[in-house]
Amino acid sequence: MKNIFKTGMLAVLAMILVTACEPQVIDEYELGAAPDAGQLEFTMTQDADDEFKYVFENKTSIVGVPSWNLGGTKKTGEKVTQRFPLPGEYEITLTYATQGGSATISKTLTTENTDYSFLESEELSMISGGVDAIDGKTWVLDSLSAGHLGVGPAGSAGLEWWSAAPLAKQGVGVLYDDKMTFKLVGFDFIYENHGESYVKDFRADDPAYSNGEERDTDYKVDFTPAEASWSLADEDGTWILSLIPTTSPIFPIFDVGAVNNRYEVLTLEENKLELVALEGGDGNAWHYSFIPEGYVKPMVEYETFVNATGNVNEFEAGIENVNIPDGITVEKVIVDFGNGTVKETTDINQTLSETYMRAAPYNVTISVVASNETLTSSVIVNVESNHPDYVPFLIDEMVVYNDFSEVTTFDVEGQDASVSVMDNPERVYPNKSSMVAKYSKTDQAWANAFMQLPAGYRFDLRQISTFKVKVRGEAGQRILLKLENTDMAGNAWQTGTHDLFYVIKEDNTWEVAEYDLSGVGAGWDWTGVQFTDDVTTDDRFSNGYYNIIRIMCNPGEDGGNVGTHEFYFDELSGPHVEGIKSAQF
């Protein structure tokens, strides 16, 4: 592209896009035969009120779907608009698709004037450093703040479903040392990733990426970013940042597959850039928060305390020795006492208290909501005995943990296996539930569905030691149920109950699998960890020890690590859990 610049103007290239209409959906058209270039036509018209704005309108007579490449920025629609604040020759391309195929024509738009007021605007200066910042302005993820990454439904700010805690992605080994630079000179966008990037799972198969490795549900990939450019446009009062690739993907540090590489600017300040992908590749809104490289944010400084008050099982919590920098305010202090009670106050000097009824360890979380960020810290409180007023929930019948339809006392998830809730494939006795769970694993020896109790809760096997689950699969499938203690983290298997199987008797028929742990041992003497011959009679195992159930289909390396293994299950039930009530079996 050739550019002609006014005297004294820096040699900059940019394309500033303003869209006049919404993208058209292909289903809105009655598609016809394949076109050829001779049938295509469009007009380019300068806006009467803005000399830098041009209108591009499809004039093709046959029925089809028009899409545009406006000098590097892509749009879809019968009529689109774009501002060109710099002089130059811009290639405008219309691609027209019908049921039979597509054709393309191009025209050259030549502009001669420069919109100096836009180039000197506050928005361009804040994101790029302005015309005097020859090397541009570099941004990094605001990794120490909550919400530096997030996701929510389309059209939202992208924080409703998940808001990353400070350094939430530190374990993936990439992201936090990546940086991106915006240059006003040339409108260059430079992404530095040290040869590795972090991408959503559905983006890992892009041909530009290699050596994909799953880390924390998404993927670390080898990737060398190519040259790219950027544009910033005010579209009907909303600032839109577009990243314009050349030969490979381009994204702001974390690839979520943003459609057309477009991001809404939620906040643009000297030391804060907040974006949301207008539409991620999964249809969701993905949130980003950045700060300039090397910038040290002023932070509220304080100390937390959680103390016993002297009253029975009562603890108080709050903050003290508070230092609030100029320009920042503390809006409220929130204390989550870890037992379902959450209290808050707008008075930073106020102490909040809670009386615990059950003996258990509780994770107390104190959050300080400041005007610039939310700071969070946690401490474990050990309540050693039940409150005198506490009435234990003791029953001698089994309870339902999860029936996937009405009762969801505890969630069931998958480890190296998928666990999905779906319609019951056959609502007949003994299982007429509307919804059930489906387990599926592929090439994984020990993939399991698991149900973990909340912190502070454990199974009591002293009165009832039987677990039940309704299963439906192929005759001969071996369904294993075992208990473990997750306090051992990666070595939790050393605490597991010995293998107890139910073998499915008939194909595609609901059956009740019963697992009686009476006389079942746990652990192994050769591990150096405690073991027993009977978990129901050994006080070290029978109560206050196990906190997770694992269910496996054809486990082990004897055929279970090859191919896909699936079955349905429902109404996972077992002994009551002290302090938590559930439906009866």
Confidence at residue 300, expressed as pLDDT on a 0 to 100 scale = 93
Average pLDDT of the residues in 294-305: 93
**Both 23 and 103 in a single domain?**
yes
**Both 326 and 420 in a single domain?**
no
Within a domain: 389:
no
Please count the other Cβ atoms lying within 10 Å of the Cβ belonging to residue 525: 8
Confidence at residue 120, expressed as pLDDT on a 0 to 100 scale = 79
| Cα 314 to Cα 341: distance, rounded to the nearest angstrom | 13
| Cα 269 to Cα 272: distance, rounded to the nearest angstrom | 5
| Cα 480 to Cα 371: distance, rounded to the nearest angstrom | 51
Within a domain: 85:
yes
pLDDT at 541 over 80: yes
Q: Specify the number of domains making up the chain.
A: 4
Give the CATH number of the domain where residue 79 resides: 2.60.40.10
| Cα 550 to Cα 486: distance, rounded to the nearest angstrom | 11
How would you write 207-244 as a 3-class SS string? CCCEEEEEECCEEEEECCCCCEEEEEEEECCEEEEEEE
Confidence at residue 19, expressed as pLDDT on a 0 to 100 scale = 36
**Both 145 and 283 in a single domain?**
yes
Within a domain: 410:
yes
Q: How confident is the model at residue 508 (pLDDT cuts 50, 70, 90)?
A: very high
Of 254, 273, 292, the last residue of a domain is 292
| Cα 508 to Cα 504: distance, rounded to the nearest angstrom | 9
Q: pLDDT tens across 338-360, in order? A: 887 899 999 999 999 999 988 88
Q: How confident is the model at residue 83 (pLDDT cuts 50, 70, 90)?
A: confident
**Both 449 and 374 in a single domain?**
no
pTM, rounded to two decimals: 0.52
Give the CATH number of the domain where residue 508 resides: 2.60.120.260
Of 271, 292, 313, the last residue of a domain is 292
pLDDT at 7 over 60: no
Within a domain: 175:
yes
**Both 137 and 77 in a single domain?**
no
- Segments forming the whole domain that contains residue 306: 301-383
Q: Which residue has the higher pLDDT, 97 or 392?
A: 97
pLDDT at 42 over 70: yes
Q: What is the mean pLDDT of the chain?
A: 88
Q: How confident is the model at residue 533 (pLDDT cuts 50, 70, 90)?
A: very high
**Both 277 and 356 in a single domain?**
no
Within a domain: 7:
no
What 3-state class would DSSP assign to 520?
coil
Asked whether 393 and 584 are in contact (CB, 8 A), the reply is: no
**Both 279 and 166 in a single domain?**
yes
Confidence at residue 23, expressed as pLDDT on a 0 to 100 scale = 39
Give the CATH number of the domain where residue 144 resides: 2.40.128
pLDDT at 12 over 70: no
pLDDT at 24 over 60: no
Within a domain: 1:
no
Of 243, 259, 292, the last residue of a domain is 292
**Both 108 and 140 in a single domain?**
no
**Both 102 and 243 in a single domain?**
no
Confidence at residue 266, expressed as pLDDT on a 0 to 100 scale = 97
**Both 347 and 283 in a single domain?**
no
Within a domain: 9:
no
Q: Which residue has the higher pLDDT, 275 or 53?
A: 275
**Both 257 and 350 in a single domain?**
no
Confidence at residue 491, expressed as pLDDT on a 0 to 100 scale = 86
Q: How confident is the model at residue 14 (pLDDT cuts 50, 70, 90)?
A: very low
Within a domain: 272:
yes
Q: How confident is the model at residue 82 (pLDDT cuts 50, 70, 90)?
A: confident
**Both 78 and 146 in a single domain?**
no
